[in-house]
Amino acid sequence: MTSALKLQFMTIPGGIRRSLAVPGTGKGHGSLRQQAARFSRSKRGLIRAVINSDQNKSAATETATKSVDSSSNNANGSSLSVTSSSSKEEGGVVDVRAVITVRKKMKEKLTEKIEDQWEFFINGIGQGISIQLISEEIDPVTNSGKSVESAVRGWMPKPSSHPNIVEYGADFTVPSDFGNPGAVLVTNLHGKEFYLAEIVVHGFDEGPMFFPANTWIHSRNDNPESRIIFRNRAYLPSQTPAGIKDLRHEDLLSIRGNGKGERKPHDRIYDYAVYNDLGNPDKDDDLARPVLGSDEKPYPRRCRTGRPPAKIDPLCESRIEKPHPVYVPRDETFEEIKQNTFSAGRLKALLHNLIPSIAATLSSSDIPFTCFSDIDKLYNSGFVLKEDDQNVVQNPFVGPLLRQVLSVSERLLKYDTPAIIKMDRFAWLRDNEFARQTLAGVNPVNIEILTEFPIVSKLDPDVYGPPESAITKELIEEELHGMTVEQAMEEKRLFILDYHDMLLPFVDKINALPDRKSYASRTVFFYNKAKMLRPIVIELSLPPTPSSPRNKHVYTHGHDATTHWIWKLAKAHVCSNDCGIHQLVNHWLRTHASMEPYIIAAHRHLSSMHPIFVLLHPHMRYTLEINALARQSLINGGGIIEASFFPGKYAMEVSSAAYKSMWRFDKEALPADLIRRGLAVEDPSMPCGLKLVIEDYPYASDGLLIWSAIKEWVESYVEHFYSEPNSVKSDVELQAWWSDVKNKGHYNKRNEPWWPKLNTKEDLSGIVTIMIWTASGQHAAINFGQYPFGGYVPNRPTLMRKLIPREHEPGFEKFISNPQHTFLSSLPTQLQATKVMAVQDTLSTHSADEEYLGQVNRLHSHWTNDPIVLEIFNKFSAKLEEIENTINKRNKDARLKARCGAGIPPYELLLPTSGPGVTGRGIPNSISI
């Protein structure tokens, strides 16, 4: 072997191997190289390693070419035949090579390109990146993993097929008894971070060994600790090879931090905090918001940022306002393709440019829609936006569905026609469509079977008046075609959408806000013999007053023009309530907010080589980042949700109240939720062991297919790793993770008796299935239909601005003379509607880099080297393809009237795959928008 440079390296004990940094502080005792040098002088356990470092560039590039070719030809992990000296044993040593893949930005400024060239040069001469192979085997002298170190060096003459991918080589000479490497330590000697995609080690008998990274490597100037990258082999804690056992523990300690200090952008610290960052009392008293996470106002925990307290209220965290980013652990941030083509870029353009531009155009004349043609113009003609900022014109990230036609001094904003009116513009007016959307719309998770009559409130009657509903037996039986209420209930024909108890405590406060008028609503539905659901009576309640102690109003569809119009207004108020509960409870709370503690706990207590971390990892992608963006601009005080949805400044308090009264982990399982709501009964002869009460219930019937596929995949995976008795109970990482979820992540619910135990593999499978379903199928079902259903304001108004006019009240005569005007002026204004439509469009859009259920990103293709796991996963993927075909067939079945018929859009929200854009279909792996 020709070598211009020979370096000496040694095995380093685990306690000295990495800088002894206090977790989360970024302070240590010198770089890895400095420690190695100091230990070398002690003359213990020396291993000579000869590093191939030819000064001759052509020799270096020849070796590099072989490495690159070998790497690219072995993408599937097949064994490598190396023709150079790198696999030959000479004198008890083996020459091996590591290929390091670094990903660069796709779009770079000139200065960044110059910096890249300098980094390329520094890496090429071996001064930019240091890596250390750690064996799975113990060195008997040091009692830690055997170790060799080298510098990344060499310029690859053959460019990667991807223009933003750069590959480097690092050569090692290791003893023949070194064993297999189980970890790689990476030290970044540059002044700034870089993105490490993967390390592949060639030359060992086992063939290429993959170390998937997909992580940002911080500069040692920011943190002297080296990063640990483990091989793509999963181990339970008790099965961890001895040589990397210490590293497994050290890596988890570094991720947990110490709960102190303000987090820096390069940090990878996962910790908890309450929701004390929604308000901004320092800016305006009206922007002060209560802390969510107390016993009085409980809430799941968010990721801690450690920002200093607000000046006025020390219990609140100071705000970071847009466009400055809120901290999330470094690897949780959006990748560049998502930033450039979708959320970060598009959402920022939406919030910073488009929304203000809409406001500038409409705020001076923020008027209601005066006729339905005003709404139609949004899709057919668009409207001209004032151009106050030329950057708005040039911003490319507003997205294809908010098409812009630009002229010299103005631009036209034009929305795509929502799916709900694309085929039938009058469908929203019909009662059967109103009912159909409770089963196949964007919020199909609140309808329940009616099991008790009379309907009685659980609220305190001393505060909220008589508990009995004003819906009488006689009113219902008028619509039952000869049946009694008791018969209809026995035959499971009566259903209810009940928001009374959830909303009545907030109604007075909401109605005191300008241009907000709300009721607490109940809607009763009848499932007729034609197997069609239809609404038969609506109750709208206000808190009692001295003059009206029973402030409840009941509406039916009636048979005359006046009653019909009042019925339409009553349905609009129900839809407004449904929109708010959907957004704040079912969407934000039950998916986004509840998932965040699972993710934080997983990083804190499950090693990246833990089988359950590997299983959950695809379902945690981007969630912390999108949640941070939401806290900054959507659910914050004065944000889009408060401005656009009926609870206004009380929006997150409504969400907290729902968490307190109804959220429980065990009922987030789809079968348990359907049974709880009475929409399914246990039946061992049926798929999933359930029989649906309403068979034509698209969300439930398609959802159970997805649920069962996830459950089968998880059970097989868990069985593979936990085949031994008591292996779940004795898994220290797993038990610590589940304890963290309950006792820290959902602190306010920590003492609830319903938390599942974690003693058996069945317990584990059930818990993980709920989490994966929540992140994938459940979120998809209630997120990606927001614009298709809500993009037409009359179908799902997000707020109402007037109460329903009553006889002998001012405004009733105006209603009689012009009911259309009264209806439209009760809906959101043009400004409110266009703002929320823009947000719904963004939230309903799939990114170009979306990762869908049952699919693996090609950049993560080496996520495991376990052939049994790959076989199980391939079965899961094949099952999802079958489910997609089944759903497509259902959408063409004329007997299923909730998803098929004249002008009815097919139910596709639980189809597994989708293309980019607002498609109304597709199940991403994770909550990424």
Catalytic residues: 587, 592, 779, 783, 929
Going by the DSSP 8-state scheme, the letter that residue 466 receives in this structure is -
**Which is it for the CA torsion 145, 148, 152, 154, positive or negative?**
negative
| Cβ atoms of 195 and 103 closer than 8 Å | yes
- Written as six digits, the tokens of 501 are 């108890």
Of 557, 550, 540, 542, the C-alpha closest to 475 is 557
Radius of gyration, alpha carbons of the chain: 30
Question: 270 φ, ψ to 5°?
Answer: -110, 115
Tokens linked to 623:
């969630």
Write the CA distances from 381 to 384, 406, 415, 834, integer angstroms.
Answer: 9, 14, 9, 14
Query: How many residues does the structure list for the chain?
Result: 929
Helix (H, G, I), strand (E, B) or coil at 322: coil
Closest of 129, 151, 925, 899 to residue 599, by C-alpha: 925
DSSP category for residue 263: P
CA 734 – CA 768 distance, rounded (Å) = 11
Helix/strand/coil percentages in the chain, nearest 5? 40, 15, 45
Could you tell me if 788 and 841 are in contact, meaning their C-beta atoms sit under 8 angstroms apart? no
Rounded to whole angstroms, the Cα distance separating 459 from 145 reads 63
- Residue 919 CA to residue 124 CA, distance in Å, equals 46
Query: Kind and range of the H or E element at 564?
Result: helix 561-581
Separation CA 825–CA 815 (nearest Å): 11
DSSP H/E element including 76: none
What CA–CA distance (Å, rounded) separates 567 from 573?
10
Query: Which tokens is 433 given?
Result: 């469509």
The Cα 219–Cα 909 span in angstroms is: 43
Rounded to whole angstroms, what are the CA distances from 503 to 420, 472, 794?
27, 21, 22
Q: What's the CA gap between 247 and 18, in Å, rounded?
A: 9
- The residue among 453, 373, 421 whose CA lies nearest residue 790 is 421
Tell me how far apart the alpha carbons of residues 696 and 705 are, in angstroms, rounded to a whole number: 14
